[in-house]
Each structure stands twice: as C-alpha cells, then as structure tokens.
Structure 1
Amino acid sequence: MEEKRVQEISSNVLDTIPAEYIRSEKEQPAITTIHGVVLEVPVIDLSDSDEEKIVGLISQASKEWGIFQVVNHGIPNEAIAKLQEVGKEFFELPQEEKELIAKPEGSQSIEGYGTRLQKEIEGKKGWVDHLFHKIWPPSAINYQFWPKNPPAYREANEEYAKRLHPVVDKMFMYLSLGLDLEPNDLKNGAGGDDLVYLLKINYYPPCPRPDLALGVVAHTDMSAITILVPNDVQGLQVFKDDHWYDVKYIPNALIVHIGDQVEIMSNGKYKAVFHRTTVTKEKTRMSWPVFLEPPPEHEVGPIPKLVTDENPAKFKTKKYKDYAYCKLNKLPQ
C-alpha cells in the first residue's frame, strides 16, 4: 500500500487531524472563503430550441467564469444515480478489497485506487482518496483498474460513458461555434474520436477539522473539458474576483469545467476555472468528474485560425503527455 488512506485516518481520529493535512493560513478554508455567499454560476438549459442562445451563454460563461452547469442534458437521472451508487459501494468495501486495484507501486500510470496524485507542495496532503480509470475509447480501457465488486460496477460505468458521448460532442460544438470556428474544430484539436474519457471518483470522508483541511488543493484541470456530477454534499469552491466562494449545485445538473487544453486551443479566450474542494465534519462528499483528455501523443496548441498578428500565440504546442508530466510535477510549461 502506497500510504495510509484518508478513509482509514478519518475513522480513527476524533477531534484532530495529522499535521500534513493542515493547510497554511493562506489556504485554510475557514479564513479564505467568503462566508454566507453561495456563487450561482451560470445554469444553461440544453433543451432550449434556440441554439444560437445556447452558444452565446456557453461562450460567455467560458470566457467569464470557466465553469457552468447544464440541465436537460439528456443523461437519464437513473444512469447518474447508478453510477453514484456503485461508486459509493466500492468505497464502502473492506480496505483489502479496494487495495486489489491500487495503483502499482512506482507506476507512472494515473489509473487505479489511491490517495496521492501529484507532487505536493510543502508535503501537504488533500483529505481525499480516489479511483481513476478510463471509460472510453475501448482501446484505452484497462479493466484491471475497474472494480469487480460491486457486480453492477462495469455495467453502470459503461452505460454512463455511452450516455455522456452526445453531451461531450455538444459541448465541443457549442464552444467551437462560440469562437466562430467550425463545429468540430475544438474536438479535433483535442484528439477527435480518440479523445480519452478518464473517470475519477473522489471520496472525501468526514473530517474533524474542515476549517483547516482541503479535499483537493486549488488547481485548474489539465483536461480539455471536465464534466462532473457530485453527491448532495457541498464542497466545490471557485476563485472569482480574488475570493473563494462556495458553488451552488443544481440537482441533476452536470457541472462543466473548462480545462487547460481548451484554454490553450482558444488562445486564452476561454478560461480554465481555478477551483478547489472543501470537506465537512459529519458527511462524506463524493464527486464523479470525467476528464476529457487528448491522447498522450496528440499535440495541442492554439487553433491556427485564432492566432493573428494582433493576437499572437500565447501557448506552446506540445504533446499532451508532456504537458501532463509538467503539470503533475509542478514544472514550468
């Protein structure tokens, strides 16, 4: 086992947490959150018959916020509920059973059950355990990292992946049209039909000192887009106008994050959202983000049509695997 799991620590501590989970004062949520205000990020109804209106709203949200929620997205509530149910059941299994799909020791692979994800500044840790595995395309899937238990796990995840496809295609299309590009330009820029759907299940157990700890430290996603469903426990925070705010979640909505690769492809017109996760004292928070990522060897850079003499390229073109390596190891891009 790579290290002690947060779930295990949570079940053994009563009123304190280990020092490595206590954030510095400039990060502690009790000090840095604007309390009593819940940020209402844009909510966009995908069933609206006015496509131009949807494009305008998504484009505006992506430029000003980097995050929005979509409702009437076409994924049945039952498919989302089943995804959440089997994920929760996995994390409630005995520890030794979860360890069967742990990330291999010393592996560079991100897939598997684990606790540590990236280089941690000052040795500080997030109050979270996780499970990563790819759910699309079939050629990228490694079932070694899919739980065998609960038995319905595979079926629920495959159904969710299938239902997610049209939503993903719509998001890329609307984002492209919002920049006066061809409908497929951003999707093709991110890898086209070889786009990788990487699922992460975040498990944030109850924390005796939620005022001092963070679930996930402040970051932008290195994906192109992230599409996320949480459970009903508050935890997502967004940095806006130099302050941290809780985000109001709409039941059965999908939360869409603009990631680094769309910011790069749009040459900075769309902004990757700077966000973090808080934890609570009594309840377990969980979330199911799907990171839509270019294949490792695929090169991503600003879309040529968006680069002009007046607006030169703001980002380098590089292979996604090289970008990811620098990001995870806190190296300059």
Structure 2
Amino acid sequence: MANLVSTWSKTAQTLPENYIFPADQRPGSFEIPLCQNIPVIDLSASHSKTVQEILHACQEFGFFQVINHGVSKDIIDDTMEVVKEFFNMPDEEKEIYYSIDPIKRCKVYTSGYDYANEDIHFWRDNLRHPCHPLDEWVHLWPEKPTNYRDVVGKYSLEVRKLSLRMLELIREGLGLEPGYFGEELTGDQLLSINHYPRCPNPSLTLGLPKHADADIMTVLFQGSVNGLQVFKDGQWLGVEPLPHAFVVNIGHQLQIISNGKLRSAEHRAVTNSREARTTIVSFISPCPDTIVEPAKSVIDTGVPRFRPFKFKDFFKFYEEKKRDPEAVLEFYKIKP
C-alpha cells in the first residue's frame, strides 16, 4: 500500500527520481491549450446526421465527445462521487483491494501493470474490475463505500448501453451487416477508475504516457478537471471537460475491423499541482478467444491490411509494446 501515490504524495514537496520522465516525453512547463476543433456530437440530432458525424470523427480524429447521450446526470454525478469517496477512504480500507497480481480481476494498484519492473512510474492510482455480465462480477467489487456496488453497477450498465448504441451507428456508417458487433466482439467490459493526486511538479511526470487503447471502444467521463490530451498531426491537443459529456476513443480493434478506415487515438494524461483528478473509464473489448480481422465488407481493394488473430494474443503483445502504438499495429499488418 505504501506504493500508492495517494498514500505518500500528500506531503511530497518534490518528485522522486523514478517518477521523472525523459525530457522528450515530459509535458513541459507550458500549458497545452484546449482544442476547439475536437468533434462534439449531439446524439439527439437526426439519425443520418449522427451516423455521418461519428464516422467522420472516427476517421479524422479517432475520438470525439458526446452530449445528450441519454445517461442520467444523476447517475454520472453519483458515480463520480462514490469513486472519489473510495480513494479518500483510510489506507487500511483500500488495502483490502490492493494487489500487484496481474491476473486478479478486481484490484487497486499504482502506476502501470508491472510496478516492480518499471523504470519510471506514472503519477496515478487505479481501481479496476470487470463489469459484464454484471451478475458474474459485482460480488468482487469493493464493499465500501457501502453504495459502491449499487451506484457503479447502474453506471456500468448505462455506459455499456451507450457504447453499443455508438457501435451500431459506426456499423451502419461502415456498411457492416446488422448484428456485426455482437457478444463475441463486445462481451468484455472493464471499468477502470484513475486517480491522479495533486503533483508537486507536473512538468516532469505523467499520469499516463502516450498510448492507444487495445479495445474496441473506450468511453471516458473525465469530470471537470483538465488532464486528457490527444496526439494528432504531430501535436498534443487538450480535450476540454464538458459538463456530463463522455469522451469516446476508438481502439485498435476497431481500426483493424475497419481495415484502417478508422483510427485509434493516441492519448495521455497529465497532472496538475492545484487539485486531484479522477476519471471513470469503460473499455469494451472482444472475448479473449474471439478471432478479430478486417470485416470483409470494408475491404475495398479485396486485400486485407491486417491478419486475423485471437484477441487474447493481441492483448498480450499489446501489453509488451503499448508504449509504441505504431509497433503494435505494424506487427499485425499484412506485408505486401
């Protein structure tokens, strides 16, 4: 438990050496401006307009924000409140869930997946657990705060429903057959709660380094504190937190299924010295043994750009190479 940043950082005046990133990876002392061009999609607009806007955002940016999405503001607010309460609990209560076991499904840990072997640590603590099917996993979730399971359970169901709705819009935009994104491709849902405590020197460290997601789709609620940045056209763009909006990232699997027509978004999380930041992330992924490959109907040239693979094999390779998103996809490309 002593490793958790939230445990020891409250009195830290300087950064430990093993949290300082190399100069070419640091966010630096200047503040990245919030980008005004990131797509904000109103899901209450006409169906045809929404399909086209989402498809364009997935092709051009690999990410977008959604508003009027149908998830209750009360559910969102209650969930953010309860996850913040979790990280504010006494250390001995969080310790029950602390683990560095890579295969433990519900756990609290710090930095990345392999703290003991990391040269540089990330300035974040993380609580994560599977949440679909809910009945199979909810008994493993934290028992404190006492309303955690009830509140977060409702949230995970609503966000999954929203994710499947957006995948259906993308399916239509790509011209895939009805039912394409069935249980095999979307059967795994993981909830990941990131907590980034106040940092004495945000210019030297990162909450999360540059990466792209391995999944099909990521839906993030980032609260009201700035910190998410997306890499596009050789520069970092700040993603403004909009009230009760969700940020949607396209993952590697959707880039592969679309045969490269859609792009997975490279992003990172920065810290700040003024206040802690807590975010709630839902990852929708294929089941481990699902075969993923480009959909036949999107291969315009008749030549797939990526070879088939089992998702569990892809994820294992991703964990080894995720600091280099291009290398991950390059490994699965079919060479001419």
Same topology, TM > 0.5: yes
Which deviates more, 165-174 or 249-258?
165-174
Structure 2 residue corresponding to 1:281, chosen from 273, 280, 287: 273
Residues in 2 aligned to 1:290 and 1:36: alpha-carbon distance in whole angstroms: 26
Q: Is the CA contact 1:44–1:71 (under 8 Å) kept in the aligned structure 2?
A: yes
Residues in 2 aligned to 1:159 and 1:135: alpha-carbon distance in whole angstroms: 10
In structure 1, the residue matched to 2:107 is 112
Matches within 5 A, 1:4-19: 4-14=3-13, 16-19=14-17
Q: Is the CA contact 1:126–1:217 (under 8 Å) kept in the aligned structure 2?
A: yes
Change (3 A) 1:329 1:164: same
In structure 1, the residue matched to 2:334 is none
Q: Give the total of aligned pairs.
A: 323
Identity of aligned residues (%): 33
The structural deviation recorded for 1:39 is: 4.3
The structural deviation recorded for 1:34 is: 6.9
Structure 2 residue corresponding to 1:55, chosen from 51, 57, 72: 51
Residues in 2 aligned to 1:78 and 1:106: alpha-carbon distance in whole angstroms: 34
- Amino acid corresponding to residue 135 of structure 1 in structure 2: C
The structural deviation recorded for 1:166 is: 2.9
User: Does 2:92 align with 1:96?
Assistant: yes
Residues in 2 aligned to 1:206 and 1:116: alpha-carbon distance in whole angstroms: 15
Matches within 5 A, 1:168-247: 168-185=163-180, 187-188=181-182, 191=184, 195-247=187-239
Point out where structure 2 has 5 or more consecutive residues left out of the alignment.
323-327, 332-336
- Cα shift readout 1:112-170 (whole Å, capped 9, x = no counterpart): 110143458971111000000111113652632x1111111000011112222431221
Structure 2 residue corresponding to 1:327, chosen from 306, 318, 321: 318
Residues in 1 aligned to 2:255 and 2:239: alpha-carbon distance in whole angstroms: 21
In structure 1, the residue matched to 2:69 is 73
Q: Is the CA contact 1:39–1:245 (under 8 Å) kept in the aligned structure 2?
A: no
The structural deviation recorded for 1:280 is: 0.4
Change (3 A) 1:132 1:64: same
In structure 1, the residue matched to 2:251 is 259
- Amino acid corresponding to residue 79 of structure 1 in structure 2: I
In structure 2, the residue matched to 1:156 is 151
Q: Is the CA contact 2:33–2:237 (under 8 Å) kept in the aligned structure 1?
A: no
Point out where structure 1 has 5 or more consecutive residues left out of the alignment.
none
User: Does 2:311 align with 1:315?
Assistant: no
Q: Is the CA contact 1:40–1:247 (under 8 Å) kept in the aligned structure 2?
A: no
Residues in 2 aligned to 1:47 and 1:58: alpha-carbon distance in whole angstroms: 13
Change (3 A) 1:311 1:204: farther
Residues in 2 aligned to 1:251 and 1:91: alpha-carbon distance in whole angstroms: 22
Residues in 2 aligned to 1:262 and 1:320: alpha-carbon distance in whole angstroms: 12
Q: Is the CA contact 1:34–1:245 (under 8 Å) kept in the aligned structure 2?
A: no
Which deviates more, 133-142 or 292-301?
133-142
Change (3 A) 1:195 1:296: same
SS across alignment from 1:30: coil
User: Does 2:33 align with 1:41?
Assistant: no
Residues in 1 aligned to 2:269 and 2:251: alpha-carbon distance in whole angstroms: 16
Residues in 2 aligned to 1:271 and 1:119: alpha-carbon distance in whole angstroms: 28
SS across alignment from 2:131: strand
Please tell me the root mean square deviation across aligned C-alpha atoms, in Å.
2.0
- Amino acid corresponding to residue 162 of structure 2 in structure 1: V
Residues in 1 aligned to 2:105 and 2:119: alpha-carbon distance in whole angstroms: 19
SS across alignment from 2:242: coil
